[in-house]
């Protein structure tokens, strides 16, 4: 088999991919531009891609291609209908990043909730020393215990986030964006009730026509001042112009690990509030724990093994 990895950098330099060599000759590229994709997959039997788009034109002109391994759960970067038409199998990996995403969700929550950036700077700048006080209570924070924690999207990750929030003493409510997922451990509510009553709102749903701009300026007016909104799902679920407007006009905190276009382009409205302490953004890293990426590679290997049986 001839194998090509189109965006090696997305998997991390610390991940040992030599295990793939048992299947055949491996070529690897740190990243691949749209203009480079067709040439790089030419003559290759197995394609590994995380975000590189494999469209109909590429599939139609790649007679040697047998298998596409998506090094992620989402499959929207491959034209699945065309792949099926041309007899090319497409496999993804699901469930590898649950614990990583849950951990990052709460890391982001506590960073925002307890004003950790401010307090770290307060000490390092010498302000604490000069204050002559043993403490600083100028930035109050609330405890999670006894607060309502709203989960939007009750898939595997959403359920696990709810379990952890419950362990912190929260009353967990959820809104199922698909209307299909449920849990007897938490109370199911409509979106408006979740927004108006929750102190923490955590988004873990996929992006689709039902969830695009699910949270917008109008319905975010129902959210209480002092609340925290987290998006670990997909950019575009919360309208980004409306995030900026809300930050400019309300005392609401936002923690994002995803944006509608990644990396964040210069024209994105979030840039005008990047330096505001009410916004914290990480570059789509929630899924990237060492353990999660190792599980991802194991899943890719198994997918290739199953295909070659």
Catalytic residue among 262, 291, 298, 305: 262
Catalytic residue among 104, 204, 234, 293: 234
In 29-185, which ranges are E strands? 46-49, 67-70, 89-91, 148-152, 171-175
The answer to whether residue 188 is catalytic is no
The answer to whether residue 284 is catalytic is yes
Secondary-structure breakdown of the chain: helix, strand, coil percentages, each rounded to the nearest 5: 40, 15, 45
Distance between start and end Cα atoms, the chain: 13
The answer to whether residue 8 is catalytic is no
Contact predicate 270/279, CB 8 Å: yes
| CA–CA gap between residue 309 and residue 300 (Å, rounded) | 14
Strand order in the sheet with 89-91: 25-28, 2-5, 46-49, 67-70, 89-91
Distances (CA, A) of 124 to 17, 111, 129, 219: 41, 17, 9, 39
Taking residue 243's Cβ as centre, other Cβ atoms within 10 Å add up to 25
Contact predicate 180/174, CB 8 Å: no
Question: What is the full DSSP assignment across 252-281?
Answer: -EEEES--SSSS--TT-GGGGGTTSTTEEE
Assign 149 to helix, strand or coil. Answer: strand
Catalytic residue among 8, 204, 284, 293: 284
Report helix angle 98-113 to 156-167, nearest 10. Answer: 50
Catalytically active residues are 234, 262, 284
């Amino acid at each position: 088999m001839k194998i090509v990895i189109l965006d090696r950098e997305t998997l991390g330099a610390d991940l040992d991919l030599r295990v793939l060599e048992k299947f055949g000759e491996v070529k690897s590229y740190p990243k691949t531009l749209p203009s480079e994709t067709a040439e790089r997959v030419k003559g290759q039997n197995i394609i590994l891609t995380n975000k590189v788009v494999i469209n109909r034109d590429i599939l139609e002109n790649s007679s040697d291609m047998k298998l596409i391994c998506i090094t992620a759960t989402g499959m929207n970067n491959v034209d699945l209908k065309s792949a099926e038409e041309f007899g090319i199998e497409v496999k993804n990996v699901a469930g590898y990043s649950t614990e990583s995403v849950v951990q990052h969700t709460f890391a982001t929550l506590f960073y925002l909730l307890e004003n950790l950036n401010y307090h770290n700077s307060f000490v390092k700048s010498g302000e604490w020393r000069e204050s002559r006080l043993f403490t600083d209570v100028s930035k109050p924070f609330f405890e999670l215990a006894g607060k309502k924690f709203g989960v939007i999207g009750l898939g595997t990750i959403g359920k696990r986030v709810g379990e952890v929030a419950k362990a912190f003493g929260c009353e967990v409510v959820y809104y199922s964006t698909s209307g299909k997922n449920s849990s007897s451990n938490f109370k199911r509510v409509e979106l408006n009730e979740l927004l108006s009553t929750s102190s923490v709102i955590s988004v873990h749903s996929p992006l689709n026509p039902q969830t695009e701009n699910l949270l917008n300026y109008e319905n975010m007016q129902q959210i209480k001042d002092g609340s925290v909104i987290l998006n670990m799902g997909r950019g575009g679920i919360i309208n980004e112009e409306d995030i900026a407007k809300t930050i400019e006009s309300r005392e609401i905190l936002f923690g994002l690990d995803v944006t509608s276009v990644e990396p964040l382009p210069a024209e994105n409205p979030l840039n005008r509030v990047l330096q505001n302490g009410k916004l914290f953004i990480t570059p789509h890293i929630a899924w990237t724990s060492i353990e999660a990426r190792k599980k991802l590679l194991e899943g890719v290997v198994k997918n290739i093994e199953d295909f070659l049986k």
